[in-house]
Amino acid sequence: MDIAEARGLLGTMWTIRAFEERLAELVASKQLPGLVHLSIGQEATATGTCAALRADDYIYTGHRPDGPFIARGADLNRMMAELAGRATGYCHGKAGSMHLVDVEHGLLTATGIVGGNLPLGLGSALVCQERGAEQVVVVFFGDGASNAGYFHESLNIASLWRLPLIFVCENNGYAEFTPLSAHTVIERLAVHAEKYGIPTATLDGQDVLVVRAAVQQAVDRARAGEGPSFLECLTYRLSGHYVGDPQRYREAAELAEWRERDPIARFRRYLIGEGLIADGTAPDGAWAGEQIEEATLEREARERVEAAVRYALDSPWPSPEEVATEVYA
Amino acid sequence: MTQPSTTLAPGAADSRVSLVVAINQALREEMARDPAVYVLGEDVAVGGPFGATAGLAELYGERRVRNTPISEGSIMGAAVGMAVLGLRPVVEIMFVDFITLAMDQLVNHAAKLHYLSGSQLRVPLVVRVQCGVMGGWGAHHSQSLEAWFVHVPGLKVVMPATPADARGLLKAAIRDDNPVLFVENRALYWGLGDLPPGEGLVPLGQAAVRQAGGDVTVLATGRLVGEALAAARDLGGEGITAEVIDLRSLVPLDLETVVTSVRRTGRLVVAHEAVLPGGYGAEIVAQVQRAAFDYLDAPVERVGAPFAPVPAGPSLEEAFLPGRTQIAAAVRATLGR
């Protein structure tokens, strides 16, 4: 694999991880406000998906927006400022975490309504189809959304109209605090989409390369006018449902098991195998090519996040008069 | 179900058109003017149950006039997803009663995305709904629910009472960059009126004085405008002159026209078909009393339906539906008669 590509994917995953770890601290210590949902452990789905997209494609996220936003290249300063409620944020301090928008990067909106972004994706995919410019729309949602009416309505309409829409289901095994087995009798969520005639794949969502390859196939189909695809990415949220979640609903053993499948560690092992990261066991000079210094990538990610935190906390609050501006266009 | 003719019959002896034909004409004109205008909803490509979208698919194709499954929530959401990328969708929710299934998208996304995105997104969306009591269609095909939407920041709410306003307000709503709920009362669909020549645009947020009078102001919406005019005729025989105002837009509200009238007449009756408690009339009364307290000579009276679901049987339906009798009685009450 190309080293620049590898560095890009690993760096993106580290940036998401660093951003959310810092965000968790800031929210827990009340330096930042709000109800914030993290995706620690799910970085490969966002990173792999966005790596297969063009700059002019569109994305809708659910209530865990950080991964796709960062993977898409959104500005960390403006993201953090938005989470801090500052005037310099993407949405002037009005959105917070669950309503983030960055139109420049095709990030049309996050949403606080589980499954509510699926119909939005239909409409935007319809626009892409009408433009004939081979653009596609990706909608991120979780396993919990599969029980919403929107889910079934949207699968039906996307298939009926052959829309260039890619359903990326991040099946992290929990709808808030409730395990999948307690909220549906369906074991593989991709089964739903099959019934609506949509090509599906259930895949290892912890493997960034597997995700990227599957999304690439779906994107190719969509650009060729062959309609929607449904990807069920099996993943796991190592963080709680929200910052502050006491997480009484899961066992330590389960958490430990999934820590072993951490997508960053997973990709690291792959890159060591490829000789792109030194694992410290090879004798000096055994690998003549350029290698990735993961520690440097991680440090740079944390530094960029720290700069974003400073930017956010140094930014002005919106003036009180802003409360009722921008209500109408 | 009555299927109206949607032929415009130019040059016929009677140039008047029905309100539903006026809506059809507005859609034709806007679709011809702007390729970004799309129509979607259940059965719209075959004209819908009342012919409001008749002929559009033949003229503009089934890509732009798109039949949808019976999935109101996803239709509404899809329209929002279209609007944020620059199209101007006109969604038909066949009966306003069904909008309960699409409330989430309208209230949580359409109304809020401009604000929440810090003006990065616009939602130029029109939601046509048909409402009103007529013919014993019962509790799921007769309600007046506009007050729910007036309470949602980011939405505009329009209720035409005449064919000319239906055409002019719908065209203005389609050109507006905000989501607009366009409320059509079924009982008005077949009432005739003249359309003005040319564009005939009617700006949102302007009430119309339908009849001048000096003793009392009657403010009405939708079907109750005609009832107010009928009541005014009845009251004329008693020597009472009523000024009848058609509000036309609930949001934005033209308070100035109302207050100017009330300052002159000193009395106000607010009338709508929706149930009384929590109705939009209450908001008007609150705003008017603040702006014209010193001018009021009597408590403001409100007319609306009783606080009950819409019954289907004819005798109960008649008892439910407010009209000229209730308006006239309210006017007399303001005059102490």
Query: Is A46 part of a structural domain of the chain?
Result: yes
Dihedral-angle region of residue B239 (phi above 0 means left; psi in -120 to 50 means alpha; beta otherwise): left
H or E element at residue A178: strand A178-179
Residues 60-99 (A) with a CB less than 8 A from some CB of B: 60, 89-92, 94-95, 99
8 A C-beta contact, residue B109 and residue B296: no
Task: Tell if the CB–CB gap between A102 and B63 is shorter than 8 Å.
Answer: no
- What per-residue confidence (pLDDT) applies to B311? 97
Tell me if A101 and B108 make a contact (CB, 8 A cut-off): no
Residue B248, by phi and psi: left (phi above 0), alpha (psi -120 to 50) or beta? left
Distance separating alpha carbons of residues A89 and A97, to the nearest angstrom: 11
CA B103 centroid distance within chain: 18
From A92, A120, A130, residue closest to B81, measured CB to CB: A120
Contacts of A94 in chain B (CB under 8 A): 115-116, 118
CB contact under 8 A, B73 and A153: yes
Contacts of A98 in chain B (CB under 8 A): none
pLDDT per residue as tens digits for the range A180-204:
888 999 999 999 999 999 999 999 9
Facing residue for A120 by CB, picked from B77, B118, B178: B77
DSSP-derived 3-state class of residue A84: coil
**Domain assignment of residue A38, given as a range:** 3-241+250-313
DSSP A86: -
Smallest Cβ–Cβ distance between B121 and the set A101, A157, A324 belongs to: A101
B80/A91 touch (CB, cutoff 8 Å), yes or no? no
Could you tell me the sign of the dihedral formed by the alpha carbons of B75, B76, B78, B79, in that order? positive
Report yes or no on A309 lying in a domain: yes
**Which CATH number do you get for residue A51?**
3.40.50.970
CA neighbor of A26 nearest in space, from A293, A18, B41 = A18
Mind listing the pLDDT tens digit for each residue in A288-297?
678 999 999 9
- Report chain B residues touching chain A, CB-CB < 8 A: 63, 68-69, 71, 73-87, 89, 104-105, 108-109, 112-124, 153-154, 156, 177-178
Please identify among residues 101-140 of chain A the ones whose CB lies closer than 8 Å to any CB of chain B: 101-103, 108-109, 111-113, 116, 118-128, 130
pLDDT digits (tens, 9 = 90+) for B74-121: 999 999 999 999 999 999 999 999 999 999 999 999 999 999 999 999
The arithmetic mean of pLDDT across residues A62-67, rounded, is 96
pLDDT mean across residues, chain B: 96
SS3 (DSSP) at A70: helix
Percentage above 70 pLDDT, chain A: 97
| Most B CBs within 10 Å, among A57, A79, A109, to test the B interface | A109
Domain count across chain A: 1
Check: CB of residue B121 under 8 Å from CB of residue A103: yes
C-beta atoms of B118 and A112 within 8 A: no
Q: Is residue A192 assigned to a domain?
A: yes
Angstrom distance (rounded) from CA A184 to CA A146: 9
Buried b (16+ CB within 10 A) or exposed e, A267-302: bbebbbeeebbbeeeeeeeeeeeeebebeebbeebb
Per-residue pLDDT of A75-113, as tens digits, reads 999 999 999 999 999 999 999 999 999 999 999 999 999
Q: Cβ of B122 and A329 within 8 Å? A: yes
Work out the pLDDT band at A175, boundaries 50, 70, 90: confident
- By the 8 A CB rule, do B84 and B32 touch? no
The length of chain B, given as a count of residues: 337
Which residues on chain A are in Cβ contact (under 8 Å) with B109?
109, 111, 113, 116, 120
In a domain, A319, yes or no: no
Residue type at A68 in one-letter notation: P
Cross-chain Cβ contact A111/B114 below 8 Å: no
Report how many Cβ contacts below 8 Å link chain A to chain B: 140
**Core vs surface per residue A69-78: b (16+ CB within 10 A) or e:** bbbbebbbbb
Per-residue pLDDT, averaged over B126-140, amounts to 97
In chain A, positions 241-300, which contact chain B (CB-CB < 8 Å)?
A: none
Q: DSSP 3-state assignment of A229? A: strand
Distance (Å) from the C-alpha of residue A73 to the closest C-alpha of chain B? 17
Per mean pLDDT, which range of A69-78, A274-283, B195-204, B291-300 is the poorest? A274-283
Task: Quote the CA–CA distance of A33 and A39 in Å, as a whole number.
Answer: 18
Q: How far apart are CA B131 and CA B160, in angstroms?
A: 12
Rounded CA separation B98/A108 (Å): 27
Q: Using a CB-CB distance cutoff of 8 angstroms, which residues of chain B are in contact with residue A60?
A: 81
Nearest beta carbon to residue B82 from set A127, A150, A156:
A127
Quick check: pTM over 0.80? yes
Instruction: For residue B87, give the chain A residue with the closest CA.
Output: A127
Give the integer Cα–Cα distance in Å for B76 and B206.
27
Dihedral, B65, B70, B74, B79 alpha carbons, nearest 10: 20
In a domain, A323, yes or no: no
The alpha carbon torsion through B15, B21, B23, B25 (nearest 10 deg) reads -70
Instruction: Kindly list the catalytic residues of B.
Output: 72, 141
Q: Is the CB of B114 less than 8 angstroms away from the CB of A91?
A: no
Residue of A nearest to B36 (CA): A127
Distance, CA of B74 to CA of A121 (rounded, Å): 10
Considering only CB atoms, B116 lies closest to which of A91, A156, A157, namely: A91
Euclidean distance between CA atoms B257 and B286, whole angstroms: 15
The pLDDT assigned to B1 comes to 41
Residue type, B314: P
Tell me, what's the ipTM?
0.96
**CB of B142 within 8 A of CB of B94?**
no
pLDDT higher than 50, residue B34: yes
State whether A329 and B114 contact (CB < 8 Å).
yes
Domains and CATH numbers, chain B: 17-193 (3.40.50.970), 208-334 (3.40.50.920)
Query: Smallest Cα–Cα separation from A328: which of B156, B216, B237, B197?
Result: B156
On the question of pLDDT at B11 being above 90, the answer is no
- Per-residue pLDDT tens over the stretch B281-337: 999 999 999 999 999 999 999 999 999 999 999 999 999 999 999 999 999 999 999
The 3 state secondary structure assigned to chain B is: CCCCCCCCCCCCCCCCEEHHHHHHHHHHHHHHHCCCEEEEECCHHHCCCCCCCCCHHHHHHHHHEEECCCCHHHHHHHHHHHHCCCCEEEEEECCHHHHHHHHHHHHHHHCCHHHHCCCCCCCCCEEEEEECCCCCCCCCCCCCCHHHHHCCCCCEEECCCCHHHHHHHHHHHHHCCCCEEEEEEHHHCCCEECCCCCCCCCCCCCCEEEECCCCEEEEECCHHHHHHHHHHHHHHCCCCCEEEEECCEEECCCHHHHHHHHHHHCCEEEEEEEECCCCHHHHHHHHHHHHHHHHCCCCCEEEEECCCCCCCCHHHHHHHCCCHHHHHHHHHHHCCC
Contact at 8 Å (CB) between B21 and B190? Answer: no
Token pair belonging to A215? 């999304």
Which residues contact residue B219 at a Cβ distance below 8 angstroms, ignoring those fewer than 6 apart?
A: B207, B245, B247, B258, B268, B269, B270, B271, B284
Q: Report the pLDDT value the prediction gives residue B55, as an integer from 0 to 100.
A: 97
pLDDT for residue A281: 66
pLDDT band at B14 (very low <50, low <70, confident <90, very high): confident
